[in-house]
Amino acid sequence: MEKHGTIYRVAGPVVTATGISPKMYDVMLVGEEGLMGEVIKIDGDKTIIQVYEETSGLRPGEKVIDTHHPLVAELGPGLLSSVYDGIQRPLPVLMEAMGNFIQRGVSANGLDRKKKWKFEAVAKKGDKVVGGDVLGTVKEFYLVHKIMVPPGVSGTVEEIREGEFTVEEPIAKVSGQDIMMMQKWPVRAGRPFGKKLMPDIPLITGQRVLDTMFPLPKGGTAAIPGAFGTGKTVTQQQLAKWSDAEIVVYIGCGERGNEMTEVLATFPALEDPRTGEPLMQRTVLIANTSNMPVAAREASVYTGMTIAEYYRDQGYNVSLMADSTSRWAEAMREISSRLEEMPGEEGFPAYLSARLSEFYERAGRVENRNGSVGSISVVGAVSPPGGDLSEPVTQNTLRIVRVFWALDSKLRERRHFPTINWLTSYSLYTNGLTGWYKANVAEDFPALRQWAMEVLQRESELQEIVQLVGSDALPDEQKMTLEVARMIREIFLQQNAYHKVDTYCPMERQYALLKVIKKFSDLSTKAVEGGAAVDEIVAMPLRNRLAKAKYEETIDSELAAIDNEMADAFDSLGGKA
């Protein structure tokens, strides 16, 4: 009979047990119902376990069983379009078994054990292989899912079979070891790779303020901090829908249930713009809402990251959305207080910064051991209480990430969406991406971006004068600067996520739109110097056409027409335009 320990103490999700000698991070089955937990501290003969389920009703003396293995993610065909909780239990499977409310002590496999997948071999008998080498492929929706040698396994392919198999049936034998389509990997350990590469290719999102002003590369890290209602979740959903990553992993970490419901309802109905297939077919959702056990919330980000690393190893670009890391940090704070650890700033544990660093460090663009290149781009939403960006989670995140998309409550009040403040946001990747933009968009694109930023900066400086003496006191050149800045804000930076044309803007269109605004600015400056009135320029029908063009289905031809007609329109103003 297997030796088991007993519960000594229960404090919320933290259970202390005696009578066992486990390793750190071993998975435990706690109590008569076998609640799943994980060893987080060993103190003499006492083992401290964080339990991933509701612990009400547990009492001292109940048994605790050591499974002798860490919390692992099941990796293989069948991940895409799945909806999991924080410890990779498929929620649709649990719902079928017990209805809308998950009972305690229930587990389900992350991958379907009955479904058969058609395996086509790439490797052949006698090949020398190492961990990460591709043995064959499986079609998962429209994606080619590569079946790889698990990390740590190497040798000669002694046997390889083609046909239809479940994820548990052997498809090959390498140096006497059976290889299945399913791998298991401990979620808290990063998967190995060959070498990291420079992040010099942008992640195209179709959002003008992000792609042009504050770009994020494939393999980069970004933070979206903002107060309640500023649009963090909508911005992340836009990134998940439109970014040019092949795989999206969306972690709803401690968010409200209705927000996750919106994601679950909208994603299956959305069409992938590149393939025409449902967007859900390239998405993995991890739903750990605020009413789910707090300890599983802490594990959910690691589960999502491990799934992302698995697809990165296959040579795919993965976009990982964590919404929100503040709730993750709050889960750490609660567990830390139950452990009676010395609190750090605002009650968060002293190791908050280290945990955040470990998470974001697993992002990156890498060359895999099989020669393919893959990436994980991480976008973490931060929900500071009251929108206070000086609080510990935001500040520690900003020390780590290199892109800061600052959401602004004042912009929300002005109905300017997305509410990303162009004066306080930044991207430290801009210089590294200049070469790509010059080669793939236009030679003058970086200069155009710089011009737009300078105009917006000058507008900010002039606004202080306007508030003191009014805009009528300004000379015409400065009045025109304010009008051009307004055009950049209202025509270019504002974007309607719910409009079928404006929701996505390709790079060529972003360049064309900004180029037309720049041409309008140059011609209006000459017109003002030639004696034309600012009010006349602002009232030009062409300017109104430009403002409406971004909502037209014929936007590209309309922008070209406006560009062609602009010089004649300014000539009709008179003066020396």
* Structural domains present in the chain: 5-70 (2.40.30.20), 75-94+194-428 (3.40.50.300), 112-178 (2.40.50.100), 445-571 (1.10.1140.10)
Beta bridge partners of 63: 6
Q: How confident is the model at residue 527 (pLDDT cuts 50, 70, 90)?
A: very high
- Structural contact between residues 236 and 381, judged by C-beta atoms closer than 8 angstroms: yes
The string of pLDDT tens digits covering residues 435-492 is 999 999 999 999 999 999 999 999 999 998 888 888 888 899 999 999 999 999 999 9
Counting residues of the chain whose pLDDT is more than 70, the rounded percentage is: 99
Beta strands in 291-407 (DSSP E): 317-323, 364-367, 373-382, 403-404
How far from 281 is each of 166, 235, 272, 322, CA to CA, in Å? 20, 21, 9, 19
- Average confidence (pLDDT) over 14-35: 93
What does pLDDT average to over the chain? 91
> Strands 317-323, 247-253: parallel, antiparallel or unpaired by DSSP?
parallel
> In the chain, what's the furthest Cα-to-Cα distance?
98
- Structural contact between residues 175 and 126, judged by C-beta atoms closer than 8 angstroms: no
Model-level pTM? Answer: 0.93
Residues 6+ apart with CB under 8 A from 566: 516, 519, 520, 523, 542
First-last CA distance in the chain = 94
For 264-267, the CB contacts below 8 A with 24+ separation are 264/83, 266/237, 267/240, 267/241
Q: How confident is the model at residue 267 (pLDDT cuts 50, 70, 90)?
A: confident
Amino acid at 444: D
Q: What are the φ and ψ backbone dihedral angles of 376, each rounded to 5 degrees?
A: -125, 115
How far from 569 is each of 513, 538, 544, CA to CA, in Å? 18, 12, 13
Question: Rounded to whole angstroms, how far apart are CA atoms 477 and 382?
Answer: 40
Amino acid at 566: M
- Structural contact between residues 306 and 187, judged by C-beta atoms closer than 8 angstroms: yes
Question: Rounded to whole angstroms, how far apart are CA atoms 287 and 340?
Answer: 29
Residue 245 tokens read as 């990553």
Q: Which of 291, 394, 312, 413 minimizes the C-alpha distance to 352?
A: 394
The string of pLDDT tens digits covering residues 529-553 is 888 899 999 999 999 999 999 999 9
- DSSP classification of residue 492: I
